[in-house]
């Protein structure tokens, strides 16, 4: 069960002899028509260029100057969101796996741009999916569509920026304590998520982040993954305590399609072979 540019044209004067005066009028009319068509075509090109430039200007651009301003805002208490800080202090627990989630005051989300933060979340399967005599569980992090990522999402409502799929030999009796995950927007416009999955004799820890300029990485038990090469990471714990990994690139995946994606994934020969290796737990 899944839990979710300007161009100026100047007419040049043409001088002809009186001997060909009758032809001048016709030639001038032709030139006038041609010139008119040329001007119309240039106006069309100018309009298209202006429209393209307008679209370009509305595209979110997290450049160096904006990053530096954001850094200054982080250290300037007059820009901090008192509301968010108050909420975080109230809920402080000094907990989190694998990393304790600290409470820092941060800038107001509205300072980033015209559109407010819209949301993020986790998506996962805790009960396990059967693959012959094996169990597969997964967890992932997603961020909703906003002015920051809309140029990449199209009609999709959100994007999963990391999905870890793990072979396991352990499901807790309560059905959920074998896996923990959390995702945070407190680094907005960057996002970070972390989690942990227990097996009988091992533990899979993972941290992932997606930045506003589309840098996307994950660390799984100290192995670094460049998620621009694929946001889906398969992990197979071995009987000797080591781990094996496989990285896949399905494209932009919305959270609501993860369940179906995993179902299809587990029918692929390469994936089945990866999870059913004899050296696996």
User: Is residue 98 domain-shared with residue 38, that is, in the same domain?
Assistant: no
pLDDT band, very low/low/confident/very high, at 30 (cuts 50, 70, 90):
low
Model pLDDT, residue 55: 45
Q: Would residue 262 count as lying in a domain?
A: yes
Q: Would residue 11 count as lying in a domain?
A: no
User: Is residue 137 domain-shared with residue 51, that is, in the same domain?
Assistant: no
Q: Would residue 5 count as lying in a domain?
A: no
User: Is residue 96 domain-shared with residue 53, that is, in the same domain?
Assistant: no
User: Is residue 77 domain-shared with residue 174, that is, in the same domain?
Assistant: yes
User: Is residue 144 domain-shared with residue 249, that is, in the same domain?
Assistant: yes
What does pTM read for this prediction? Answer: 0.78
Question: pLDDT tens digit string along 184-206?
Answer: 999 999 999 999 999 999 999 99
What is the rounded CA–CA span in Å between residue 124 and residue 279?
26
pLDDT at 162 over 70: yes
Q: Which domain holds residue 139?
A: 68-275
The arithmetic mean of pLDDT across residues 168-174, rounded, is 96
Provide the domain count of the chain: 2
pLDDT band, very low/low/confident/very high, at 8 (cuts 50, 70, 90):
very low
Among 16-30, 104-118, 157-171, top mean pLDDT goes to 157-171
pLDDT band, very low/low/confident/very high, at 45 (cuts 50, 70, 90):
low
What is the rounded CA–CA span in Å between residue 149 and residue 143?
9
Last residue of a domain, one of 36, 58, 80: 58
Handedness of CA 119, 4, 156, 193 (dihedral sign): positive
Q: Would residue 10 count as lying in a domain?
A: no
């Amino acid at each position: 069960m899944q839990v979710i540019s300007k161009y100026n044209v100047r007419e040049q004067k043409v001088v002809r002899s009186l001997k060909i005066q009758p032809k001048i009028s016709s030639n001038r009319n032709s030139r006038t028509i041609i010139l008119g068509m040329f001007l119309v075509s240039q106006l069309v090109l100018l309009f298209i260029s202006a429209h393209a430039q307008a679209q370009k200007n509305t595209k979110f651009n997290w450049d160096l100057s904006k990053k530096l301003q954001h850094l200054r805002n982080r250290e300037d208490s007059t820009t901090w969101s008192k509301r968010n800080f108050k909420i975080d202090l109230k809920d402080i627990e000094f907990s989190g796996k694998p990393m304790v989630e600290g409470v820092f005051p941060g800038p107001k989300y509205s300072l980033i741009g015209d559109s407010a933060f819209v949301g993020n979340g986790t998506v996962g399967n805790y009960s396990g999916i059967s693959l012959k005599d094996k169990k597969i569980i997964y967890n992932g992090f997603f961020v909703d569509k906003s002015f920051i990522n809309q140029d990449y999402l199209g009609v999709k409502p959100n994007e999963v920026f990391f999905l870890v799929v793990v072979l396991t030999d352990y499901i807790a009796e309560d059905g959920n304590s074998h896996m923990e995950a959390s995702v945070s927007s407190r680094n907005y416009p960057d996002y970070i998520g972390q989690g942990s999955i227990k097996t009988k004799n091992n533990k899979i820890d993972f941290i992932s982040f997606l930045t506003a300029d589309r840098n996307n990485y994950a660390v799984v038990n100290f192995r670094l993954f460049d998620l621009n090469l694929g946001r889906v990471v398969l992990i197979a714990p071995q009987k000797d305590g080591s781990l094996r990994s496989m990285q896949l690139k399905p494209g932009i995946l919305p959270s609501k399609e993860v369940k179906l994606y995993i179902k299809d994934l587990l029918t692929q020969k390469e994936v089945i072979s990866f999870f059913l290796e004899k050296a696996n737990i």
